[in-house]
Amino acid sequence: MAHPGKAPETSVYPVNIHWTASKGWSITPPSQDVPLDKTVRFNTDKNCTVCFEPKNTVFGAKLDINVGSQVDVQVGSTDFTVDLCATDQGKTCTPIRPIEAMGTIIVGSGRKDDK
């Protein structure tokens, strides 16, 4: 009998940004663990701006993402955690955990001084 094993590791980790009139912006999955040297791929169903905190990671302060065009970010070889939120394109939001952050990306083992 075959035993279930750990799922194979992928090199691309999707972060999907959604918008609905009834609920506003949301991000799935809300928490994404990404191994070092892999890629985070942002997809959206409405043109948006994704803002990050802290702003000094490989993601920068913000990314504009358009419907139909994904944005890939290589996470590099340093452990860190970044919070994110989404808003209308051209606007900004402040992803302060746990109140305003819509999601978290944990790269490698994250960081020891995590909020």
> Domain limits of the chain?
12-107
Q: DSSP label at 38?
A: -
Question: Measured between alpha carbons, how far is 113 from 115 in angstroms, rounded to an integer?
Answer: 6
Of 12, 10, 18, give the one whose Cα is nearest residue 103.
18
Average pLDDT of the segment spanning 75-82: 95
Average pLDDT of the segment spanning 103-112: 84
Average pLDDT of the segment spanning 92-115: 77
* pLDDT for the residue 115: 44
pLDDT (tens digit per residue) in 41-68 = 999 999 999 999 999 999 999 999 999 9
Adjacency order of strands within the sheet including 12-20? 24-28, 12-20, 39-44, 71-74
Q: Which CATH architecture has domain 12-107?
A: Sandwich (2.60)
